[in-house]
A and B are shown apart, each in its own frame.
Chain A
Amino acid sequence: MGTNALKVDDAGWETEVIKSPGLVMVDFWAVWCGPCQMVAPIVDELATEYAGKLKVMKLNTDENPEVAGRYQIMSIPTVLFFKNGQPVEKLIGARPKKQFKDIIDQLLTQSASPA
């Protein structure tokens, strides 16, 4: 059984993303955004494929404007990657799954490399 992306909101942002160790991916989306419908299943698949290595979250920008504003989100979907609470990569738009995987693999490799 797969593990879908978890919902996060303004209230839970600090705990779930900023204070979360390791790599976190957050999909900023909205209900009536067409490209968001295309990205959503990819995000859920990635949550399953990278379970234990990557924390995958989704944030509804209509319901959580504080966080969306803080990270200057404009076009949606926008996917942000956080490493130890810091934003390190951004992907905007309905991109193919491979582009997400390439970024994730690269960031995980960096995390595994000795300092």
Chain B
Amino acid sequence: MDSPHKESLEKMWKFVKGFADKSGTTFHPTPGVTDSVVNGLAAHVDELGKPLCPCNFYKDKEAEAKLRRWICACDEMQIYKYCHCLLFVRGDGMPITEYLPEDHEGRQIYGLIADPTPDKGRALRHRAPAAIATTATADGTPSKRIPNQ
């Protein structure tokens, strides 16, 4: 991908800073990680008109952008507070995984990572399966295995 336009980059930095604050997350302690992702989001704004997640491969980016599920902040972030791009993470750089289904790749990669700010974020939490939504917030350990969405 080409380097993004300055305007797109500024727009994305403003968005991600605002969303991190709103969701109770922080940026990765390795600055290069955050810079890469924000550049990728801005480059997709230039290319597609939407900040499509740059940490996936898409056979058809334009078709994927229309589905909206991987437009930042993506469905996984809004439902589970999990950012596989490591853009919105905890202070220690770990992505929050406690609300994910047990068989989700995020749980398999990082294990159970608790949310330090459970009162923030997850605007679409109602779309999470009920078993996860109730037990994960109670003790951080989902009690029931459910399939991927």
Chain A contacts to B: CB under 8 angstroms: 28, 30-38, 61-62, 65, 68-69, 73-76, 92-95
A62 engages B109 (CB within 8 Å): no
Please indicate the chain B residues that have their CB under 8 angstroms from the CB of A69 in the complex: 57, 59
Please indicate the chain B residues that have their CB under 8 angstroms from the CB of A37 in the complex: 30, 32-33, 36
Shortest distance between the CB of A48 and any CB in chain B (Å): 21
Is B56 an interface residue, CB under 8 A from the partner?
A: yes
- Which residues from 51 to 68 on chain B have a C-beta closer than 8 Å to any C-beta of chain A? 54-57, 59
Our count of residue pairs bridging A and B at CB distance below 8 angstroms stands at 75
Shortest distance between the CB of B111 and any CB in chain A (Å): 11
Q: Of A31, A38, A74, which one neighbours B33 at CB under 8 angstroms?
A: A38
B109 engages A34 (CB within 8 Å): no
Shortest Cβ distance from A73 into B: residue: B57
Shortest distance between the CB of B57 and any CB in chain A (Å): 4
Please indicate the chain B residues that have their CB under 8 angstroms from the CB of A95 in the complex: 109
Please indicate the chain B residues that have their CB under 8 angstroms from the CB of A68 in the complex: 57
- When each residue 28-72 of chain B gets 1 if its CB lies under 8 Å from chain A and 0 otherwise, what string results? 101011101101110100000000001111010000000000000
Is B113 an interface residue, CB under 8 A from the partner?
A: no
A30 engages B33 (CB within 8 Å): no
Q: Of B37, B56, B87, B106, which one neighbours A74 at CB under 8 angstroms?
A: B56
Shortest Cβ distance from B84 into A: residue: A75
Please indicate the chain A residues that have their CB under 8 angstroms from the CB of B41 in the complex: 32
Cα(A73)–Cα(B105), bound, Å: 13
Please indicate the chain B residues that have their CB under 8 angstroms from the CB of A30 in the complex: 1, 40, 54-55, 57
Known: A30-B40, A31-B40, A32-B1. A61 touches B105 (CB 8 A): no
